[in-house]
Structure 1
Amino acid sequence: MWRMMDLSEESRWLNGPAFLRRPAASWPGSAPSDEANADDEEEMPSELVLIGASETFIPIQRFSSYRRLLRTAAWVLRFTRRCRGQRDELENYGLTAAECEDAENLLIRKAQHEAFPDEMRSAENRLEVARRTDIFGLAPYLDGNGVLRAYGRIDAALCIPYSAKRPVILSHRHSLTEMVVRDAHVRIKHQNVDATIAEIRTKFWITKLRRVLQGVISGCSQCRLQRARPMPPIMGSLPEDRLEANVWPFKRTGLDYFGPLLVTVARHHEKRWVALFTCLTTRAIHLELAHDLSTDSCIIVIRNFVCRRGPVYRLRSDNGRNFVGADREAKKFAEVFEPERIQIELSSKGIDWIFNCPANPSEGGFWERMVKEVAPSEHFLEMSADQEAPLTPNDLLKGAACPLDTPGLDGGLVKEGATRKQWRIARMLRERFWKKWILEYMPTLTRREMWCRKEEPIRRGDIVFVCDPAVPWRDWWRGIVEKAFAGVDGEIRRARVRIMDGDRTRWIMRPASKLAVLD
């Protein structure tokens, strides 16, 4: 512990050592040791410290905006002038253009002295700069304000200002340069690289400008929002419904709507929609006319389709509201989904209705492609299921519809064994069809037309844009991924996102191809 110094009249600090009052001959040969003080004093270790004084009157590193730095420097210069007794009447108001220009010249000179010390020294002595420097080809010189400028070859141009003919030289290594580039990038509303370079070179010539600008753009939050694009995962494998052979048509079916079509009803026009059923295996198409997009109309359409084409094992559709409502109502109408011919196989189960992820038309691309083929047709003929001819044994044996007054089987068969021969021919055609389907058609499904590489998957907690092509990107929802769902191949295919819709929180399901992760 340090003790308080003794400053009384008898202290050694005020009177000095006692031997100094005696003759010099009686002085001791060595310096006296104060044992009492020696016990209390502690030996302090010595350290060598190098202290350097910075000549920068404003720490540039503390600023992120070039305009704010410029105005701060102008206020500091005004304060120094007032301290020297130099005061102008205009200083009673805000900063003047001359004050801002003086502050900018001061900041530029400081940056040039730090980045080009040898070049500035050569320019001050009116000497040529060294050839190894980056600015040798610019023929640098000092103007009247002591700023290093480029002596270019376009002095005769009358369409550009003097600052573009003799631009100020800045180094890409200095922190002031980054602020100048960022200010120009924001001032021209985050345009592309070439537009920003053109704006900067109206006043400055920056070494390796493109590299500096790319770094500024990559760190710009506004540009990251504009560049945010969804990164869809690799295109998934086809479902089993598309690849199962030797099945009856429309066993696995896709359903979609298109329209509206204008029809004439009692001398006035009404809108009608067309329900397109497509076999996921054979690509066969069946069309039904829907009165509207209501749930009841959807159920009637499905009922007519089942009556005409037979049982459906699985039905796929988009996540439309009318389809969702029809699926709820279908639980009350089991006969629509459980015909007698499949009741033994399906027992008490209904049709397996699978809905695609919302806002994911690519998942239903199979029937979307069929809609594009059928929709341009101009003429549609409606046929009522109630007025169709009944199914007779001749339809099964001869493969063609017969009139109701067709005589019995004995009278219809002219030659013995003709029916058996037709059955063998039909079986041969069926086997030939499926053989060609397996050997010729199925290999064409191997190649991916898009989304051919794996991307970084979406993870829980990612901040994402919910992309919607129908609205501008500025109006896209921002949300947080609550849960990511993987497909059968292990790739993340969809995610549940929490968003703010006005004052309330919502959870929506979206495909990974419609979510843009914000870095």
Structure 2
Amino acid sequence: MEAAALKIEFHFIPPHAPTFGGLWEACVKSFKHHMRRIVGNNHLSAESFTTVLAQIEACLNSRPITPLSSDPNDLQALTPGHFLIGRPLLTVPEPNLEIPENRLDNWQKIQRITQHFWKRWHEEYLSTLQTRYKWTTMNPNLLNGSIVLIRDDNLPIGRWSMGRVVATHPGQDGLIRVATVKLPNSVNLIKRPITKLCPLPIEIDPVTAADQPTAIPQ
């Protein structure tokens, strides 16, 4: 109903043709890769396994894809959750469960499995947003106004630290290594090295990009 109200039309790939969906099939491959290693030899009941899959599904569908608008005051990003329920998916934070497994009840074991998945998959997804080349190849500089994800190892499941670049700080060679980022719903500004910032894919004006100096590889 939400998609119909926005006049969104879905075009599906043919049945039994997963190779047609390279982008999302890569996400499925990533899920299977981490799922096998995290669940391992744990014996889960049907209900517990269903709960784990539902929570992991929420993790995958919470990922930011692209900025929602070019408004400099809008720091929201489009997520798969917008296509499902019309808004980002939210989860209830759970305490860190890095304690011996024999001290955990069934629900806590499920949460620890989900936390381990989130930690591994979250880091892998952020890495895909930072294209890494050999030192012989130069990257375009980070542009003012870009929405970025900020690397933070202590975020709870389904939460993403986002901000908008308001200033860049090039070195003497003109290459940007540090940026000032504005956080959402806050007047505070933070500085981070570009290795801790993951720009969301956006369409950049080639004329504007041509005027920018070149950045060092990350």
How does the TM-score come out when normalised to structure 1? 0.17
- Give the alignment's TM-score, normalised by structure 2: 0.36
Structure with bigger gyration radius = 1
| Greater length-normalized contact order (CA 8 Å, ≥ 6 residues apart) | 2
